[in-house]
Amino acid sequence: MARRGTAALALALALLAVALAGAAAQGAAVEDPDYYVQEIWSREPYYARLEPEPFSPPLPAGPSEEERKLRASEPRAPKKATKPKKAPKREKLAPETPPPGKKSNRKGMKTKSSEKAAGDDHRVPVAREAVREGCPPLGLETLKITDFQLHASTSKRYGLGAHRGRLNIQAGINENDFYDGAWCAGRNDLHQWIEVDARRLTKFTGVITQGRNSLWLSDWVTSYKVMVSNDSHTWVTVKNGSGDMIFEGNSEKEIPVLNELPVPMVARYIRINPRSWFDNGSICMRMEILGCPLPDPNNYYHRRNEMTTTDDLDFKHHSYKEMRQLMKVVNEMCSNITRIYNIGKSHQGLKLYAVEISDHPGEHEVGEPEFHYIAGAHGNEVLGRELMLLLMQFLCQEYLARNSRIVRLVEETRIHIIPSLNPDGYEKAYEGGSELGGWSLGRWTHDGIDINNNFPDLNTLLWGAEDRQNIPRKVPNHYIAIPEWFLSENATVAVETRAVIAWMEKIPFVLGGNLQGGELVVAYPYDMARSTWQMQEHTPTPDDHVFRWLAYAYASTHRLMTDARRRVCHTEDFQKEDGTVNGASWHTVAGSLNDFSYLHTNCFELSIYVGCDKYPHESELPEEWENNRESLIVFMEQVHRGIKGLVRDLHGKGIPNAVISVEGVNHDIRTGAVWRGLR
């Protein structure tokens, strides 16, 4: 055995020596230790890739024969370009391994994979790996690419400028001058373009496009060319053999379409040049660029601004099966403080799993508050789901490491986490992948219901009783009963909604947060405007000051929510209220989880929108975790604020359902009933 161990050690050392010698021979080693730290979260290390040859842009060339023919045959201001010339068929490239967080076969998504080889009649360096590597998005959707890095030939107006040409960006309700739903060129001709300045040498591998987000107009690009440059003056067009390659674009305005470059191109700038567009529309597009920024150890600016994390967590997107397995691993690691249970099943029969974290799992302790996080009510808002899985791991690890703050939180709080309330919807979104699912794929349940707005409308019952002056004599100002029609089998109520209601009625929650995506703000109730037919109206609860504090507790400890320099995600600027908003003043919604929780239970519930990108690429997960980690912990700690105690009779026995009123607050609460846990 000793000889076998010695031999294995010698073999390992020999392999290590060979690897080190190879790295030294290629000159790939980066000596700056700080740079290694910044690059560590790349799933495919930059320093392991072949270094590109220096960029040598060619001299400006005159128009090609194809371009001269096009210009001679087109009118001055054509509505649509002539039909693009198709590239000759060539042998398909070897299939590449899909990048992290993506799937190569996406059901229902349109993917235009290039099958043509780029020509060698230019000197733009290309990466010539034997196996194609997948690169993550540069960050147009996540806002890592700033407005100053986007430029265009022309634009119709400011609200349709290059800064609005981001994948999945949403237009305002009125599609006004400031917040419209795409970049739209000022003219419809073949000389229009939109470009991205990556600010460093980047290996570009693909382009994803959408049309204009609009309720009223139909605008999208049906074909385009791709050009790259190192100085933004001399451009080289991606080729297919000897001619310029024409990429097929969109056939409607919302479904994203991916085109992979036949060979990755290394440059600083990339430009999209529309060649044809929808007959009755204009040149309008939203886009994302896939690319791997190449390492530059001498550029301190990039290294300083790249986010890293020191937490050893599982940063990836998890399928339903992988989520269940991860929860099991956490439970086995911290069996003394965790318990896995389910609150019901989805429409498709998937269990709605929850993890309980407490020093006495399965038991309600008198005086210990109950807290919950819910994520994934909208199946395509994936970031919240992954943050919950990361939070479970983090709490377990830090408890085992005896982090005093986490130990105190776990021992003094009963925490419940549901990472995926709509697993059916998530499975649809997961099939599409992080970039090709669009804005809404998987949002609803399998039977087409929006869980977040599927709860009984108790606001109307309360306000109607107040108008008739029946409060509190006939109708209470709290614990309002669910209408009988809602409880009937024929009511349009998702099985997931019924499961959450039963769960919230069984456990005496004090505070809760439901994680959503697509924005960066914390919304507090009421979510429904009191005035009829008002789309937006500030409608505070009697506990408005408490809700505002709870919302601010999360927003102020988030890395970006209260940053005044932050660009708005889509159309709303929430900085005037420090990253918080009253739900009804944003957009009115009847039957929200927040309003139901406040009016039917003792629980104060808020909606936490954790990121502009609903489904970020998994390479973004470490940074998103760092953005939200402190906020997630601080918000849980707020459950211990305020007054708490016991209500007993003369014999010292607890009194269940005792009504407690606070002077000046027209909303009462009740003491909990005798409760022995879920076992």
The more confident residue out of 305 and 383 is: 383
Q: What are 289-318's pLDDT values in tens digits?
A: 999 999 877 766 555 556 678 899 999 999
Residue 12 confidence class, pLDDT cut points 50, 70, 90: very low
**DSSP secondary structure of 3-48:** HHHHHHHHHHHHHHHHHHHHHHHHT-----HHHHHHHTT-SS-GGG
Q: What is the pLDDT of residue 620?
A: 94
Q: What is the pLDDT of residue 156?
A: 94
Q: What is the pLDDT of residue 226?
A: 98
Query: Which residue from 278, 284, 285, 286 is spatially nearest to 80, judged by alpha carbons?
Result: 278
Return the SS3 of 447: coil
Is residue 128 within 8 A of residue 50, CB to CB? The reply is yes
CA distance 313 to 316: 9
Those residues whose C-beta lies under 8 Å from the C-beta of residue 544, and which sit 6 or more positions away, are none
Residue owning tokens 């159309």 = 571
Q: At what angle do helices 382-400 and 621-637 cross, to 10 degrees?
A: 70
Query: Which residue from 217, 63, 170, 48 is spatially nearest to 572, judged by alpha carbons?
Result: 170
Rg of the chain taking only CA atoms, in angstroms: 28
CA distance 291 to 130: 18
Is residue 450 within 8 A of residue 642, CB to CB? The reply is no
Q: What is the pLDDT of residue 69?
A: 42
In the predicted model, what is the mean pLDDT of residues 516-544?
94
In the predicted model, what is the mean pLDDT of residues 327-332?
97
Tokens of 47: 């320093």
Tokens of 243: 């001619």
In the predicted model, what is the mean pLDDT of residues 148-163?
95
Those residues whose C-beta lies under 8 Å from the C-beta of residue 98, and which sit 6 or more positions away, are 104, 134
User: Dihedrals φ, ψ of 597, to 5°?
Assistant: -60, -40
Is residue 642 within 8 A of residue 543, CB to CB? The reply is no
CA distance 85 to 87: 6
Query: Which residue from 639, 640, 591, 607 is spatially nearest to 480, judged by alpha carbons?
Result: 591
User: Dihedrals φ, ψ of 290, to 5°?
Assistant: -95, 130
Task: Please say if the pLDDT value at position 46 is more than 60.
Answer: no
Torsion of the alpha carbons at 134, 135, 140 and 146, rounded to the nearest 10: -170
Q: Which helix (H) or strand (E) holds 371?
A: strand 370-375
Task: Please say if the pLDDT value at position 120 is more than 90.
Answer: no
Q: What is the pLDDT of residue 524?
A: 97
Q: Which helix (H) or strand (E) holds 199?
A: strand 194-210
DSSP letter assigned to residue 526: -
Residue 108 confidence class, pLDDT cut points 50, 70, 90: very low
Largest pairwise CA distance in the chain = 99
Tokens of 336: 């003394």
**509-516 and 370-375 strand pairing:** parallel
Return the SS3 of 236: strand
Q: What are 417-454's pLDDT values in tens digits?
A: 999 999 999 999 999 888 898 899 999 999 999 999 99
In the predicted model, what is the mean pLDDT of residues 352-380?
95
Query: Which residue from 136, 221, 145 is spatially nearest to 435, judged by alpha carbons?
Result: 136
Q: What are 532-580's pLDDT values in tens digits?
A: 888 999 999 999 999 999 999 999 999 999 988 888 999 888 988 899 9
Tokens of 432: 């599409």
CA distance 182 to 210: 9
Q: What is the pLDDT of residue 301?
A: 56
What's the mean per-residue pLDDT of the chain? 82
Q: What is the pLDDT of residue 565?
A: 85
DSSP letter assigned to residue 96: P
Tokens of 544: 């408005």
How many distinct helices (H) and strands (E) make up the chain?
A: 15, 21
CA distance 371 to 415: 5
Q: What is the pLDDT of residue 295?
A: 87
Q: What are 164-198's pLDDT values in tens digits?
A: 999 999 998 777 778 899 999 999 999 999 999 99
Q: What percent of the chain has pLDDT over 90?
A: 66
CA distance 128 to 482: 64
Return the SS3 of 291: strand
Query: Taking the CB of residue 143, how many other CB atoms lie within 10 A of it?
Result: 19
Position 337: which residue type? I
Most confident range (mean pLDDT) of 22-26, 125-129, 237-241, 472-476 is 237-241
**110-112 and 257-277 strand pairing:** parallel
Is residue 58 within 8 A of residue 231, CB to CB? The reply is no
Q: What are 632-671's pLDDT values in tens digits?
A: 999 999 999 988 888 999 998 989 889 999 999 999 999 8
Is the peptide bond between 456 and the residue preceding it cis, with omega within 30 degrees of 0?
A: no
Helices (H), 40-81: 65-73
Residue owning tokens 């709509």 = 422
Q: What is the pLDDT of residue 62?
A: 43
Sign of the alpha-carbon dihedral angle for 317, 319, 324, 329: negative
**Residues comprising the chain, all counted:** 679
DSSP letter assigned to residue 164: G
Position 454: which residue type? N
Residue owning tokens 């947060």 = 513
Residue 386 confidence class, pLDDT cut points 50, 70, 90: very high
Q: What is the pLDDT of residue 133?
A: 52
- Residue 440 burial (10 A CB sphere; 0-12, 13-18, 19+): middle
**665-670 and 659-662 strand pairing:** antiparallel
Query: Which residue from 265, 322, 290 is spatially nearest to 209, judged by alpha carbons?
Result: 290
Q: What's the Cα-to-Cα distance from 50 to each of 53, 136, 320, 335, 626, rounded to whole Å?
A: 9, 18, 36, 46, 31
Q: What is the pLDDT of residue 302?
A: 55
Position 509: which residue type? F
CA distance 678 to 203: 54
- Residue 120 burial (10 A CB sphere; 0-12, 13-18, 19+): exposed
- Residue 246 burial (10 A CB sphere; 0-12, 13-18, 19+): buried
Task: Please say if the pLDDT value at position 137 is more than 80.
Answer: yes
The pTM of this model reads 0.80
